[in-house]
Amino acid sequence: MREEQSNKPSQKNKNPKKPWFWPLIYVGFSVAFVGMIWGYNVYVNSDTAGEWKNAGDPDKVTIQTNALAESMKYPFKETLQNSIEVVQHFYDMEADEATREKSILVFNQQYRTSTGVSLSMKGEPFEVIAAMSGKVEEVNLDPFEGDEIVLSHANGMQTKYRSVTGILVKVGDVVEQGQALATSSESEWNPTAGVHLEFEVLEDGVLINPESKLAF
């Protein structure tokens, strides 16, 4: 009897089954796979964020993400800085009385507050340039208020250039900061400003004072 008992395999020598082993392997592979997919998406999105592509060739990136770091510049060449003045300011309730007076437009005895700044070079036309790199969203032809160009920018802002002539761009074009867009002109709506450019800036869809952003 003792011999028979001694010949039986010991239960202690058997390797116990580990039911959690294979599920753990599957979970590990799943996590690694999801991580690879997420990493790829982050790489692709970060590589193309803030870029515009040429409308004629979608694969050709024409403006890199450095457009996000641009600061807004005046919509005319810096060499004209001493020749161009603001003849009408953005209407700001907190501005001084003289500035507010220069922010009111009058037409047929009707008053309207200025939604941008009117820039004039002593009644002479001047070249209008892009304040920042962007994409042409609209080109509106309006002989009454003045022809207009609307640009969208990588930082979410929009700029509008109104009372212009000789427009050099079309909807869908991608432009670089400082690129020529048109030439300042006159409008029936604001005859007192003479030949001028009405420049507007929108941030999150709201008109803001362009002079708070403009610099050279």
Q: pLDDT 10s per residue in the chain (216 long)?
A: 444 444 444 444 445 555 555 555 555 555 555 455 554 444 434 443 344 544 455 434 545 456 778 999 999 999 999 999 999 999 888 888 888 887 887 767 778 889 999 999 999 999 999 999 999 999 999 989 899 999 999 999 999 999 999 999 999 999 999 999 999 999 998 888 999 999 999 999 999 999 999 998
How far is Cα 187 from Cα 94, in angstroms, rounded to an integer? 28
pTM of the predicted protein model = 0.70
Q: Which residue reads 């807004």 in tokens?
A: 72
Residue 49's pLDDT is 38
Pair 155, 192: CB distance under 8 Å: no
- For the chain, give every domain's residue range: 78-88+116-212
Residue 4's pLDDT is 45
| Nearest to 75, CA basis, from 165, 181, 206 | 181
Q: Is the dihedral of CA 77, 81, 84, 90 positive or negative?
A: positive
DSSP letter for each residue of 57-124: -TT-EEE-GGGGGPPPB-SS-GGGTTT-EEEEPPP-TTS-HHHHHTTEEEETTEEEE-SSEEEEBTTB
> For the chain, what's the residue count?
216
54 DSSP 8-state letter: -
Domain at 78-88+116-212: CATH code? 2.70.70.10
